[in-house]
Chain A
Amino acid sequence: MRSEITPDKYFPKGIEEKVTLAVLIRRIIGLSVFAILTMFILGFFSAAGHFLTSETSPNPLAYHYLAENQAMIKVSISHSGKRITECKKRTKAELKKLPPNMRAAMSCERERTPVLLVMTVNDEEVYRHVSRPKGLSKDGASIFYQKLVVPTGVHEVSIQMRDSVRDEGYDFEYKEKIELVSGRNFVVTFDEQNQNFKVY
Chain B
Amino acid sequence: MYFEGLLDAIFGQRFNPVYHLGALCWFFYWIVSITGIYLFLVFDTGVNVVYDSIEWLTHDQWWLGGIARSLHRYASDAMVFAMLIHMLREFALDRYHGVRWFAWFTGVPIIWLLLTSGITGYWLVWDELAQYMAIASFEWLDWLSIFSEPIANNFLREGSLGDRFFTLLIFIHIFVPLALLFVMWIHLLRMARAEINPPKAIAWGAFGLLMVLSLVFPAVSHPPADLSKVPVVLNLDWWYLFVYPALDWMGAGAMWATAIIFSVVLSIMPFIIPHRAPTPAVVNLDNCNGCGRCFEDCPFGAVTMQPRTDGHPSYEFEAIVKESFCTACGTCSGACPSSSPYRRGEELITGIDLPDVPLTAVRARLNAEAKRLTGDVKIVVFGCEFGGALKELESDVVGTVQMSCIAQVPPAFIEYALSRAGFDGLVLSACRPGDCYHRLGVHWTEERLTGYRDPYLRPKIPRDAIRVSWARPTEMGKIRRELGEFVQDVTNSKKKLTHDSRVELESVAGE
CB distance from B267 to the nearest CB of A (A): 27
Question: Cβ of A45 and Cβ of B238 under 8 Å apart?
Answer: yes
Tell yes or no: A42 within 8 A of B by CB. Answer: yes
CB distance from B270 to the nearest CB of A (A): 29
Distance, CA A47 to CA B215, complexed state (A): 13
Question: Cβ of B450 and Cβ of A15 under 8 Å apart?
Answer: yes
Tell yes or no: B139 within 8 A of A by CB. Answer: yes
Tell yes or no: A185 within 8 A of B by CB. Answer: yes
Tell yes or no: A107 within 8 A of B by CB. Answer: no
Tell yes or no: A71 within 8 A of B by CB. Answer: yes
Tell yes or no: A110 within 8 A of B by CB. Answer: no
User: When each residue 78-90 of chain A gets 1 if its CB lies under 8 Å from chain B and 0 otherwise, what string results?
Assistant: 1000000000000
CB distance from B235 to the nearest CB of A (A): 3
Taking CB atoms, residues of chain A closer than 8 Å to B230 are 65-66, 71-72, 183-185
Distance, CA A9 to CA B244, complexed state (A): 60
Tell yes or no: B470 within 8 A of A by CB. Answer: yes
Taking CB atoms, residues of chain B closer than 8 Å to A26 are 9-10
Tell yes or no: B459 within 8 A of A by CB. Answer: yes
Known: A14-B467, A145-B150, A185-B228. A2 touches B238 (CB 8 A): no
Question: Cβ of B235 and Cβ of A17 under 8 Å apart?
Answer: no
User: When each residue 215-243 of chain B gets 1 if its CB lies under 8 Å from chain A and 0 otherwise, what string results?
Assistant: 01101100000011111111111110000
Tell yes or no: A196 within 8 A of B by CB. Answer: no
Distance, CA A66 to CA B245, complexed state (A): 11
A-side interface size class: 35 or more
Question: Cβ of B149 and Cβ of A143 under 8 Å apart?
Answer: yes
Tell yes or no: A153 within 8 A of B by CB. Answer: no
Distance, CA A46 to CA B209, complexed state (A): 14
Taking CB atoms, residues of chain B closer than 8 Å to A185 are 157, 227-230
Question: Cβ of B248 and Cβ of A13 under 8 Å apart?
Answer: no
Taking CB atoms, residues of chain B closer than 8 Å to A30 are 6, 9-11
Tell yes or no: A127 within 8 A of B by CB. Answer: no
Known: A38-B209, A43-B213. A50 touches B235 (CB 8 A): yes
Taking CB atoms, residues of chain A closer than 8 Å to B73 are 46-47
Of the candidate stretches B74-82, B164-172, B280-288, B329-337, the one touching chain A is B74-82
Taking CB atoms, residues of chain A closer than 8 Å to B220 are 47, 50
Tell yes or no: A39 within 8 A of B by CB. Answer: yes
Taking CB atoms, residues of chain A closer than 8 Å to B468 are 12-15
Known: A5-B451, A200-B156. A61 touches B238 (CB 8 A): yes
Distance, CA A42 to CA B238, complexed state (A): 10
- Give the residue name and chain of the A residue nearest to B152 (CB): A145
CB distance from A154 to the nearest CB of B (A): 18
- Give the residue name and chain of the A residue nearest to B210 (CB): A42
Tell yes or no: A151 within 8 A of B by CB. Answer: no
Distance, CA A74 to CA B470, complexed state (A): 63
Taking CB atoms, residues of chain B closer than 8 Å to A167 are none
Q: Which of B7, B227, B234 has the most CB of A within 10 A?
A: B234
Tell yes or no: A134 within 8 A of B by CB. Answer: yes
- Give the residue name and chain of the B residue nearest to A140 (CB): B148
Question: Cβ of A65 and Cβ of B451 under 8 Å apart?
Answer: no
Tell yes or no: B463 within 8 A of A by CB. Answer: yes
Question: Cβ of A59 and Cβ of B235 under 8 Å apart?
Answer: yes
Tell yes or no: B404 within 8 A of A by CB. Answer: no
Distance, CA A71 to CA B232, complexed state (A): 9
Kindly identify, within residues 142 to 175 of chain A, every residue whose CB is under 8 Å from any CB belonging to chain B: 143, 145, 147
Question: Cβ of A61 and Cβ of B235 under 8 Å apart?
Answer: yes
Tell yes or no: A182 within 8 A of B by CB. Answer: yes
Distance, CA A189 to CA B156, complexed state (A): 9
- Give the residue name and chain of the B residue nearest to A19 (CB): B12
B209, B216, B239, B464: the one within 8 Å of A13 (CB): B464
Tell yes or no: B503 within 8 A of A by CB. Answer: no
Distance, CA A2 to CA B447, complexed state (A): 10
B77, B142, B148, B450: the one within 8 Å of A45 (CB): B77
Taking CB atoms, residues of chain A closer than 8 Å to B446 are 15
User: When each residue 132-176 of chain B gets 1 if its CB lies under 8 Å from chain A and 0 otherwise, what string results?
Assistant: 100000010010010011101100110000000000000000000
Question: Cβ of B452 and Cβ of A183 under 8 Å apart?
Answer: no
Taking CB atoms, residues of chain A closer than 8 Å to B219 are 47
Question: Cβ of B152 and Cβ of A12 under 8 Å apart?
Answer: no
Tell yes or no: B449 within 8 A of A by CB. Answer: yes
Tell yes or no: B456 within 8 A of A by CB. Answer: yes
Known: A5-B459, A183-B232. A74 touches B213 (CB 8 A): no
Distance, CA A133 to CA B201, complexed state (A): 62
Question: Cβ of A65 and Cβ of B231 under 8 Å apart?
Answer: yes
Q: Which of B7, B149, B216, B227 has the most CB of A within 10 A?
A: B149
Question: Cβ of A62 and Cβ of B11 under 8 Å apart?
Answer: no
Known: A5-B451, A39-B209. A78 touches B149 (CB 8 A): yes
Distance, CA A162 to CA B108, complexed state (A): 46
The contact sample of 23 A-B pairs, CB cut-off 8 A, is A1-B454, A7-B450, A10-B451, A10-B459, A10-B463, A15-B468, A19-B12, A27-B11, A30-B9, A30-B11, A35-B205, A39-B212, A39-B216, A47-B73, A50-B217, A50-B235, A61-B236, A63-B233, A65-B234, A76-B152, A134-B145, A145-B142, A184-B230
Give B residues with C-beta under 8 Å from A: 6-7, 9-14, 73-74, 77-78, 81, 132, 139, 142, 145, 148-150, 152-153, 156-157, 205, 209, 212-213, 216-217, 219-220, 227-239, 244-245, 248, 446, 449-452, 454, 456, 459, 463-464, 466-470, 482, 486
Ordered nearest first, which 9 A-B pairs have the shortest CB separation? Answer: A49-B235, A30-B10, A14-B468, A12-B466, A45-B238, A5-B451, A200-B157, A46-B77, A12-B463
Known: A46-B239, A143-B149, A184-B229. 9 other contacts (CB 8 A): A7-B450, A10-B463, A15-B449, A42-B77, A42-B81, A45-B239, A47-B237, A50-B235, A67-B232
